[in-house]
Amino acid sequence: MKVKELSYRYGISTLGLILVALGVGISIKSNLGIAPPSCPPTILNLSFNAISVGTFTWMMHLLFILTEVIILGKRFKLKYLMQIPAAFVFGYMCDGAIWLFDSIQAPATSYPVQILLSLAAVLITAIGIKLEVLGRSWMLAGDMLTAIMADEAKKPFGTVKVLFDVALVVITALLAWVFFGLLTGNGTTVVIREGTLILAILTGLCMRVTDPLLEKLFHPITSTFTPHNA
């Protein structure tokens, strides 16, 4: 694989990670609930303020990778180790996005603004996820673990993804109850609410519209990529 192709692949995928991280930051600012994969790191950060959301994010991703190793055993491929640097990169991108939005805006309090911010997070996240796929370089552990579990259970990816997201939200609610006596957050920052449902449901629907547009936009570049089986 040529250096130019690698630079394009990682450039597109890194842009995707940046956008997904921005989606996390925007959803936190909406104060209406955040996407399921970011719920556990956020509730842990609210309880242990010295450790950032991004740090808890990469720690969670490393736990996902360990789970993959346990499930696959000797079938775990060396290329899956690329999830490790991706975990660190994405985690600190999340911290950067949160810092950026903390510096320019307080958490939203107006319900219409909260809804708009949640919808903006949906759009940005949908675009970011597709760019990750188009780049075919970075691999995020949450998606990889979901794919592995779906393959092992011989169930559709979408079905397992929903169950995985529900499990993350339930774990977050339990942690919130243990730490704060609430199910939605710490009483100031909202982690689980209708925004969580908006992000969980509408992101996939949004991708039905944005995916074809992004495929067309990036086709002059992605069409030059070496096929997976080459």
Task: Report if residue 17 sits inside a domain.
Answer: yes
pLDDT of res. 228? 59
pLDDT of res. 230? 46
Distance between CA atoms of residues 74 and 68, nearest Å: 11
Task: Report if residue 188 sits inside a domain.
Answer: yes
Task: Report if residue 28 sits inside a domain.
Answer: yes
**Secondary structure of the chain in HEC code, one letter for each residue:** CCHHHHHHHHHHHHHHHHHHHHHHHHHHHHCCCCCHHHHHHHHHHHHCCCCCHHHHHHHHHHHHHHHHHHHHHHHCCHHHHHHHHHHHHHHHHHHHHHHHHHHHCCCCCCHHHHHHHHHHHHHHHHHHHHHHHHHCCCCCHHHHHHHHHHHHHCCCHHHHHHHHHHHHHHHHHHHHHHHHCCCCECCCCECCCHHHHHHHHHHHHHHHHHHHHHHHHHHHHHCCCCCCCC
Task: Report if residue 227 sits inside a domain.
Answer: no
Task: Report if residue 230 sits inside a domain.
Answer: no
Task: Report if residue 228 sits inside a domain.
Answer: no
Over the chain (230 residues), the average pLDDT of each successive run of 10 is: 84 92 91 93 96 96 97 92 93 93 80 93 92 85 90 87 90 96 92 92 88 93 75
Q: Which two tokens stand for residue 24?
A: 């996390």
Domain hosting 68: range is: 3-222
Cα dihedral across residues 223, 228, 229, 230: positive or negative? positive
Task: Report if residue 104 sits inside a domain.
Answer: yes
> Is residue 116 within 8 Å of 77, Cβ to Cβ?
no
Which residue type, as a one-letter code, is found at position 33? G
Number of neighbouring beta carbons within 10 Å of residue 102: 13
> Is residue 157 within 8 Å of 146, Cβ to Cβ?
yes
Distance between CA atoms of residues 118 and 30, nearest Å: 6
Total structural domains within the chain: 1
